[in-house]
Amino acid sequence: MIYIGNHVSVAKGFLAMGKEELSLGGTTFAFFTRNPRGGNAKEIVPDDVAALRELLQERNFGKLVAHAPYTMNLCSAKESVLEFSNRVLKEDLQKMENLPGNYFNFHPGSHLGQGFEKAADMIAEALDRVIKPDQKTIVLLETMAGKGTEVGGCFEELREIRDRAAIPEKIGVCLDTCHVWDAGYDIADDLDGVLDEFDRVIGLDHLCAVHLNDSKNTCGSHKDRHEKLGLGQIGLDALLRVVRHPVLQGKPFILETPNDNEGYAKEIACVKAAQEADRGSADEEKL
């Protein structure tokens, strides 16, 4: 099985996020550690966080996938952006330790003409300044579409960042289906091949979470425009093959489709129905 959910708002507190996801039928969720465009983070209220942790355990939730703000760019050419980004990374990783054992996902950033080599060093050095050997949070580099000077548009770039970090075992990868498709990885017609390449380049042991999205674009377009499941160029059948793939079982899948709560509930139900169908087939084979 997988764990399926979507982004929920932290505005009403941590326990409220868990209750909202339960109402949608989800078994995991994502949340922005602060406003997606930057700003201050939600203050930690110990009783509220403790109540969420209790709920997650009681209802058998999968790991959560917190998301850094989009404005965090650890390889920016602008000093003010670098200062902000490093502060955000430090503060948010510290706060994530209040929800131990979960994930903190971020976009590697854009090098803005400085080149990938310098960007990889900058990102690894930023991670080295804040990642501690005893921390419970795993930091995830997200696969990107490769538009402009964006870092992470191929598996090799993510591997390079991990390889340069001092504590790579605290760094994993979140595979975004829209992004890898837009980057040129054909998960519709060659999912096994894409996952084999990921394993060869990075290692499937380091693939920790999945963003489950369709794409408005053709494969290799490098545009990054998400679509609802089944309404884009990847297609529902292909995305459900991702959901069913044996090497991805047990991982949190996060919907980032352009939806409201009603739409998310329908997509969650669709994914869970595919899982139930697989489970039923497996049970029949045992008879």
Mean pLDDT of the chain: 95
Stretch 6-17: mean pLDDT: 96
Q: What is the pLDDT of residues 53-69, one digit of tens each?
A: 999 999 999 999 999 99
pLDDT at 123 over 60: yes
Stretch 81-100: mean pLDDT: 96
203 Rama sector, left if φ>0, alpha if ψ -120 to 50, beta otherwise = left
Q: Are strands 214-215 and 226-227 parallel, antiparallel or unpaired?
A: antiparallel
DSSP classification of residue 246: G
Spatial separation of the C-alpha atoms in residues 27 and 268, rounded to whole Å: 9
pLDDT at 217 over 60: yes
pLDDT at 149 over 70: yes
Alpha helices in the chain (DSSP H): 14-24, 46-58, 79-96, 116-130, 155-164, 177-183, 191-201, 236-244, 261-286
pLDDT of residue 287: 46
In order of 34, 88, 108, 259, the CA distances from 92 in angstroms are 9, 6, 16, 26
pLDDT at 30 over 80: yes
Q: Which residues does the annotation mark as catalytic?
A: 37, 67, 70, 107, 142, 176, 179, 211, 224, 226, 256
In order of 51, 109, 115, 192, the CA distances from 77 in angstroms are 41, 11, 10, 38
Per-residue confidence at 278, pLDDT binned at 50, 70, 90?
Answer: confident
Per-residue confidence at 281, pLDDT binned at 50, 70, 90?
Answer: low
pLDDT at 282 over 80: no
DSSP classification of residue 34: B
pLDDT at 245 over 70: yes
192: number of CA atoms within 13 Å, CB side? Answer: 1
Domains of the chain: 3-286 (3.20.20.150)
Cross-strand pairs, 207: 173
Sequence-distant (6+) residues with CB within 8 A of 160 are 116, 120
Spatial separation of the C-alpha atoms in residues 56 and 60, rounded to whole Å: 6
pLDDT of residue 42: 75
